[in-house]
Structure 1
Amino acid sequence: MGVTPRRRTFAVAAIAAITAIGGLSACTKKNDEPSTPGEIKLVVDHFGEFGYDDLVKQYEASHPGIKIELRKTAQLGDYRPKLVRYLATNKGAGDVVALEEGIITEFKANAANWVDLSQYVGDKSADYLPWKYEIGKTADGKLLGLPTDVGGLAMCYRKDLLEAAGFASDRDAVSALWPTWDKFIEVGQQYRTKTGKGLLDTVTTAFSASLSQVGGDLFYDKDFNVVADTSPAVKQSWDLAVKLADAKVTAKTNTWSAEWQAGFQQGTFAATLCPSWMLGIIEQNSGAANKGKWDVAAVPGGGGNWGGSWLSVPTQSKHPKEAAELAAFLTNADSQVAAFKAKGPLPSNLKALDNADFQAYQNPYFNNAPVGKIFGEGAKTLKPVTIGPKHSSVKERAFEPALQAYEAGRLSAQAAWDQAVKDAKVQGAF
């Protein structure tokens, strides 16, 4: 995640879809007003699972004049185009919207689209991980977003499937099986020999995890030039993904596909890279029948920071003050602990990370794994990486399709790399 100020002016034409109409002072009615006179309706837009279902009910109970609607989009890839359209037409956006690390820089390019939250909630810099808070500010110092979570990394695995294949299933023993990626590959090859199945879901989850582990400049440098073809982090992560595919240790299930979602229930694979926010997604996909079968172990190669978001208020909101106050509530220490318990997003609020309930929390779905301890221990040591304006597009529309094509045998390694590099230049243009 880049924390340095932007040092170049971006071409307006390249972001016309976001800025052509977005940021206008006129507000267009976007949501039906509540039928109760005097009641204010606030819409919260987010993707995946943020753990807000019970929190918004709690907020409504303590704020009788407020009614809240959660609008969830399952995948970030589907969420971003909606937000682009809302900002371009100056209508339709939620009063509070989530901005993920892979898209926040892109949307910060036009600060006029966003409310300066500090005018309603004050200076919150002492409450959060410093680098995380800074990313939520615009180049001229306005507070565009309040931090939600960070993406502490682990490996989630099916203990019952490992046991059936003759492996130890205790989380400490499993962590000891794969201290390095080479050891993970050895285990994966043994698992395939014994079961005929892939240990890992797909090479793309390993690619993303490795990027976060290596760190530094990823697809962009600090001036936001696309450097995917020369980035050591990208090349090292690419080589790891190719090595995993060559070793046949994956199930070749494309992330977010119907096959991938069903694979959690069907035992198609026994492990997936698991940033803390993935806990809720795994539970949702795996269903009640698999409660207690999943557990959490260390990731090969140690640590990593994959993902994380902020809550922002578009200027088109008819209720910016109330929306900012709701965003502050959803990101305060108590709410971040509650959201973590509900769906797994790892707090970025410093008091939340020090909270005794957070540190002691065990997730019953994941065999009572001490996820507060597992994810929390390294949270304060996480380091930002350079996340450029179209990071998500480069990763999801250039590198992941190319890796999937290689994993499926449709392209050679060189052809896949050439395709990824070529597509990265197109997807990364800003």
Structure 2
Amino acid sequence: MSLTTRRTRTAIAALAAITALGSLAACGKDDEPAAGEKPAKLVVDTFGEFGYDEVVKQYEKDTGIKVELRKTAQLNEYRPKLVRALATGKGAADVVALEEGILNEFKVNPANWVDLRPLVADHSKDYLPWKYELGKAPNGQLMGLPTDVGSLAVCYRRDLFEAAKLPTERDQVAALWPDWPAFVETGKKYRAATGKGMLDSVTTAASAVMFQKGGDLFYDKDDNVVADTSASVKAAWDMAITMADAKISAATATWSPEWSAGFKQGTFAATFCPSWMLGIVADNSGPENKGKWDVAPVPGGAGNWGGSWLAVPEQSRYPKEAAKLAEYLTNAQNQVAAFKLKGPLPTNLEALKNPEFTGYTNEYFNGAPTGKIFGDSVAKIQPLHLGPKHQGVKENAFEPALRAYEAGQITREKAWEQFTKDAKTQGAF
């Protein structure tokens, strides 16, 4: 039996077990709502920043239904909570955000999720076509409605660039790094002038390169782990190693407390930021750094890092109302509102043409025309194939090996050996 066959069968068995547990729990419920009963409250689970804080207020006013937003800061904390809720049949929200890697994992067996097709209007023509299609399970079930896509850019600190005697205007900054080698050279100049790393971490650069290259990443189309032969992974790895050798980063582990604090403290002057990262950068930097950050294009052109869908777990007591809430949160008007508040880039075609989006300038980021910067790259974004355990491989194999090398703990050869070994473990079910 091949590794692919073993992994697929094991995956089906594992997720079937979750389904069975969830079904048993559902069958045991004695608090099913009466016919026509309207929920007093619906719960929405998200990670990072989705920008729903304001839009739910209008929903509450229109429907009389309270919406509780439960936010988890980090994706690697969010996923285990969701898996546990599905396994026990309780604890999941009525509406759940599924990041692209997590969605692929649950596509193996979509029985835990409500099929949205009979509960919402036909939106197949309303979103970026490839984004809408990725929300479907292999059996055609519509598991989720599209939220955002992660168009890439660079967030940089104008004041820190000025202190390093580097240009500060975004068009001049963009000219500093037409390609990746030029970005490395800029980082060298920054360290020579300041004695500090310009970039937050080589792992954010590695992610940007990998997603920009596209194609097969940690998995091939048959969901075999190909981390050791993927051209995109190798290109990202080599660029991260080059950056580590050039010492252009502050070597802060992404999502760590030190990384979060580094935005406010000026530990680094740049990070690769998909559109959804804007809210995180602003929140971590605080109001005192408003206007100090700006946004410039990513080296080498566009790329796609991240993106999510809204789904409804079968265990929701109010699947019809939950589906309508997911539909409301992902409509054109509210995708624009969410972008203006926290940065998640719309995938609704009407939203992408809305002058409120295309002409939007972000006051926190020195008036950067983020609608244009991110919107211009949407048409260039190509769908990526992320295998069922992409996030686990990235966070538990790829990034730790790079950080170990950057910290001088292991050689380049040992780092690659550690990564490819751990990738097989993390990538298998």
Are 1:330 and 2:329 an aligned pair?
yes
Q: 1:125 is matched with which residue?
A: 124
| Deviations 1:385-407, CA, capped at 9 Å, x for gaps | 11100100010011011111111
Change (3 A) 1:38 1:23: closer
Do the aligned partners of 1:23 and 1:87 also contact (CA within 8 Å) in 2? no
- For residues 232-285 of structure 1, what are the alpha-carbon distances to aligned partners after superposition, in whole Å with 9 as ceiling and x for unaligned? 000110000000000000000000111000100111000000100000000000
Correspondence for 1:383: 382
Deviations 1:86-108 (A, max 9, x none): 00011100000000012111012
**Distance (Å, rounded) in 1 between the aligned partners of 2:377 and 2:132:** 18
**1:241 and 2:245 are equivalent in the alignment:** no
Instruction: Provide the secondary structure at the position in 1 that maps to 2:259.
Output: helix
CA distance in structure 1 between the aligned counterparts of 2:371 and 2:181, rounded to whole angstroms: 28
Q: Does residue 1:42 correspond to 2:53, yes or no?
A: no
User: What letter matches 1:334 in structure 2?
Assistant: Q
In the alignment, does 2:418 pair up with 1:419? yes
- The residue number in structure 2 matching 1:216 is 215
Over 3 Å counting, the alpha-carbon distance change for 1:339 and 1:221 in structure 2 is same
Paired letter, 2:42: L
Q: Secondary structure at the match of 2:119?
A: helix
**Map of 1:3 onto structure 2:** none
Report the more deviating stretch, 53-62 or 365-374: 53-62
Name whichever of 337-346 and 109-118 sits farther off: 109-118
CA contact (8 A) 1:151 1:305 kept: yes
Tell me if the contact between 2:97 and 2:310 (Cα under 8 Å) persists in the aligned partners: yes
- In 2, distance between residues paired with 1:354 and 1:380? 12
**Alpha-carbon deviation of 1:140?**
0.9
CA 1:428–1:166: 2 relative to 1, 3 Å:
same
Q: Partner of 1:53: helix, strand, or coil?
A: coil
Distance 2:326 2:59 in 1: 11
Contact kept in structure 2, 1:28 and 1:90, CA below 8 Å: no
TM-score by length of 2: 0.95
Q: Residues 186-245 of structure 1: CA distance to partner in whole angstroms, max 9, x if unpaired?
A: 111111011000000001000110111110000000111111011000011000000000
* 1:139-174 C-alpha deviation (Å, 9 max, x unpaired): 111110000000000000001100111011000000
Q: Indicate if the aligned counterparts of 2:25 and 2:89 stay in contact, CA closer than 8 A.
A: no
Structure 2 runs not aligned, ≥5 long: none
Determine the C-alpha separation between the residues in 2 that align with 1:384 and 1:18.
29
CA change 1:98–1:146 in 2 (3 A) is same
TM value normalised by structure 1: 0.94
Does the 8 A contact of 2:25 with 2:88 survive in 1? Answer: no
2:370 aligns to what?
371
Change (3 A) 1:365 1:27: farther
Asked if structure 1 preserves the Cα contact closer than 8 Å seen for 2:135 and 2:144, the reply is: yes
Work out the CA distance in 1 between the residues paired with 2:38 and 2:226: 53
Q: 1:297 maps to what in 2?
A: 296
- Where 1:299 maps in the other structure, the secondary structure is coil
**Which whole-Å CA distance do the structure 2 matches of 1:415 and 1:17 have between them?**
38
Identical positions, percent: 66
Superposed CA RMSD: 1.9
What letter corresponds to residue 314 of structure 1 in structure 2? P
* Aligned position for 2:180: 181
Gapped regions of structure 1 (runs ≥ 5): 1-5
Q: State the alpha-carbon separation in 1 of the partners of residues 38 and 216 from structure 2.
A: 50
- How far the C-alpha of 1:122 sits from its partner, in A, is 2.9
Amino acid at match of 2:263: F
SS in 1 for 2:26: coil
Shift of 1:380: 2.4
1:333 and 1:92 map into 2 onto residues whose CA distance is 30
